[in-house]
Structure 1
Amino acid sequence: MPKCWRIRAFFVAMLLRSLFCGAGLFVTFAALGQSVNSGASGTTTRNAVYTVVEQQPYFRGGMDAMWEYLGQNLRYPEEALRQRIEGKVFVNFVVSETGTLENVTVVKGPHPLLNDEAVRVIKLMPAWEPGRQVGRAVPVSYNLPITFRLPPLPPAGPRTAPEVYPPKPVGGQAALEAHLKSNLNYPEAARRQKASMLVFVQADVNEHGQLIAARPLSGFGAKAQLATNGQTKRELQELLDAAGAAFKPTHAWQPAQQKGKPAAGSVVVPVVLNGTTGSAELLPYVHLFPSEPAVPVGGKEEQFGFMAKNMRYPTGALRRQTQGEVKVLVEVDEAGQLSNATVIQSVSPELDAEALRVTALMKPMHPALERDLPVRSFVVLPFTFTIK
C-alpha cells in the first residue's frame, strides 16, 4: 500500500483509510513491546524466547502501518454490538526469528467475542521485522492491547422511512468491486507514476435496473503524484474517465425504490484507484449500499428547512452573479454524528465554503442500518444557490 498522505475532507480521509490508512470502527490500539527475562544479557539458547532484546521486533512499515492494518481488518462482532460489550483485549504472541507470529494467546479479555476477533486479526498479520540480540534475529515475546469501544447510541425518536431507496448493485458492494477490478483500464501515465486517486462516480440507473450513465463528479489525491509538465490536467482527467468507464460493461443493478415501486435513481460511489496495483477498490469499512440508508431526524423536509434557514448567500458570489448546486458528501457514523464533509460537486470557493459551514451546523441523523445494526455510511447533501 502506498504511503498515506494528508488531504482535507472526509472521503480523502477515507481514501487514506481504505487505500492507505485503515480505520477500525470503534476500535483503538496500543502496541507495547514488553521486556522481562532471560534475554537481557544476550546469553541464551537459540530456541529461548526473549522478552528484552537490543532491537525490539516491529511491524514492517512501523506503528502507523500496523494501525492501518488493524483498522482495515478488525471488525466489531455484531453480537458484541447487540449485547453492548466493550473492553480491552490483551494479546500475547511470539515474533519468531523469521518475523512470523506464533503462539497467539489472550492474556486477558472482557468477552470471548472480542477475544476471538483480536486473535483472528493478529493471526492474519503479515510477517514482522524480527527482534535482534547481538545482531542475530531471535524469537521475542510481544504484548498488544486492543481496545473495543462501543459507539454512542444513535438519536432517539421515531425513524422516518426514506422517500426513495437508492439503486444498489446486484450482489452488493463486493460484487461491484469485483466488476470494477475486472473492467478498469488504468491509464499508463498514472500507473507509471503510481498515481492513486479517490473518484466520486455518480451511477444513474433506470427503473429496469440498467445503468444508463456513470459520471465522475470529482477526484482527489493524484495531483501531487503526477508530473507538472503541462500534462497533469489531462492525466487527471484520464483517471476520472477510467473510473467511470470501469462501470461498463454494465453490472446488474437493483433499481431505486419509490413507494415500493421500481424507479429511476442515482447513487454516488466512491472508487479508490490504486496506482501501485493498477486496480479499483471500494471502501471496505463504509456501507455504501446499506439496507436502510441514513435519514434525518424529522425527515427530509425538516432537514431542507434547516439548510434553507441557515444558508447565507456570500456577498462576493452575489456580486459576480455566481449560482448553482453544491453537493456535499458527509460521513454519518454509527451514532448518527455527521463529520468530515467534503465537496464533491463544486460551484465556486465562496459557495462551497458556505455549504460546508451549514453542514457543520446540522444535527445528528438516524444512522444507516444493516441487519438492524447501525453502520457507518454517508449521505450527499445538495445546496442550491439561486439568485432571484
Structure 2
Amino acid sequence: MTPEFAYFLKVNVAFVLLYAFYRLFFYRDTFFKLRRTTLLAFFGVALLYPLMNIQDWIREQEPMVEVIQMYSAILPETTITPDNVPETDWHGLLLSGVSYLYWGGVLALLLRFLVQLSSILLLARKSKVMQIYDTRVHVLDRPAGPFSFFRLIFLHPGSHSDKEIDEILTHEGTHVSQWHSIDVIICELICIVCWVNPFVWLLKREVRHNLEYLADDTVLESGYDSRSYQYHLLGLSHTNKSATSLSNSFNMLHLKNRISMMNKKRSHGIGRAKYLIFIPIVGGLLIFSNIDAVARITDELVESSFAEALMPEAIQLPIQLFPAVNKEEPAEMHRGYVLSKEELAAIKRAEEQVFTVVEKMPEYPGGQKALLKYLASSVKYPESAMRNGVEGRVSCSFIVRKNGSITDAEVIRGVDPALNAEALRIINAMPEWSPGEQRGKAVNVKYTVPVSFRLANKHKASVSGTPAKGIDTSGRIFTVVERMPEFPGGQYSLLRYLSQKIKYPVIAQENGIQGRVSCSFVIGADGALSDVKVIRGVDPSLDAEAVRVIKSMPKWKPGVQNNMAVAVKYTVPVTFRLQ
C-alpha cells in the first residue's frame, strides 16, 4: 500500500466515524454556532490526523506493543509471482481501472465546480446593482429564488413584498456577514477529492443545513414573526433554486427540517459540554493512525528478514553470538524482530537524507552467510563479561553510506559496557557493504543489527549459576523482558528442530499454496508452552501444521524480568515456500 493511498483511506475512514459521531450526539441540538465550528473541525481533523507523527510515543507505551504486533499480523501479505511463471496481472489491471475511474470523477466534479463558480461571477457582472434598505443587491432580470455568495446578494425584487424583502435581506445578510460561503467552498472541494465516500456528501449536507439554521435563527432574533416567516418560506418553495449549489439559497429545500428547528425548544446550555467528547475521538483517530504506520513499517522490516529456505519452508530467527570456545556451532541472524524507535524513524542528516527502508536493502559483501562467518571469526567475548556471567542482546545501528562505508555506529539498546564495546568494535571493522538502492539510485540507509551474547553451558555453570532467583506467580504475561525466553540449546537448535519436525502438507504442495504463518504462544515461568494460536494464517493445512509443531516443542528456558522467571508472549513467523 502506497503512503498516498494509506493517507486517502485514513481520511475517508475518519469521515465515516465523524459523521456517525455527529448524528449520534449533535444532530438535534440548537447550538448552531458551536455546531458550525465542530463541523469545520471535522474536515480539519480528517485531513490532518494521518500526517501527525507520534510514533515514538506509541512505541514507548508497553500496552501498545501487543496491539502493534497483532495489527501487523493481520495486515495483508504481498504475493510475489516467480519470474518464470507467466501470469496476467489482473490485480494490477483492476487497480489501474479503479484509478482511472476515480480521477475521472475528480476531473468531472472539478469542471462542474469551475462552471458553477464562473456562472455566479458572470451573473454578478451582468446584473444591475441597486441599494435596497441600505444593502447592495444584484437585481435578477427574471423571477428566481434569492441567494448569496460571499459579499454578493442576488434578488428579484418584483417577486416579493416589502416585508418579505426585509426578511430575505436579513437572512442573506447573515450568510454574508458570517462568511458562510467559505464553509460551502471547503465542502465542495473535499467532496471533489473524496467523491467516492457517501459520508462526505452527507457531512456537506449537514453543513449546508446548519448554515440555514443559523440564518433562520438570526431572522427570528431580529423580531420577525415566526409563523409569517415560515409561511414565506413555504410560499417560495415552488420557485426555482439558485443558479448553482455554491450559493446560499434563501428557499433552500428541506424546509421541513428548517421549520422543525425553528419551532424546537432551545437546548439547555449545559448541553455544550457534550462537545468535549470530540477530544477523545480525535485522540483515538491519532493513535490508530500511528499504530497503523508503525505496524506497517514493522511488518515490512520483519518480512524482509525471513528469506533463507531450510526445507520446503523458510525460517530465520535472531542472531546468537557465542564465545570463541563455541565457534564450531553456526550462528543465525536477522535484522531483528523487536524494533526500537531508532530503527524505524526516518532521519535527516544536515546534508542528505538517510532512509530506514528502501527497495533494495544494503548487503554485506558475499551476502548473509559471509556476514555470519565474519562475525563468528571476529567477535571476542570480553573476559570481564565471561567472569561475571554477563550475557544478553546488544542492538547496534549504523548507516551504510552511498559508497558502502559504515558510519555512525551506535548502541541503541545495551547490556553491559564490555559487550557494548565489543559489538561496536566488530561493526566498525566491517568492510564496505553493497549500498541500498531507492528507485535505482544508491542511498544512505540506517541499518540495525541486534547481537545476542550467550555464554556456553560450561561457562554458565562455573560463573553465573541460575539467573532467575524466583518465579513470578502474579499471572502477568509480558511481551518484552530483560532476558527473552530461549529454546533449549539456542536458536540453532530451534532451527534444527523445526526443519526436522515440520512436514509440508501434501494438499498445500499439490495446490501450490505457500506463505507466512504467524503463531503466538505463551512461554510460562516454568518454560511450558500454552495458548498457541495462529494470528496470521495462510491456509488451514499450513496453519494446522505450524500449530502442531509448536505445541510439540519441549519446555523453553523462561524469560527473566527483575531476576524473576516470568511468562512471556512470543511470536514465531513461519514461512512456507515451495522450492
TM-score, normalised to structure 1, is 0.35
TM-score, normalised to structure 2, is 0.25
* Structure holding more strand per residue: 1
* Structure holding more helix per residue: 2
Q: Of the two, which has the highest radius of gyration?
A: 2
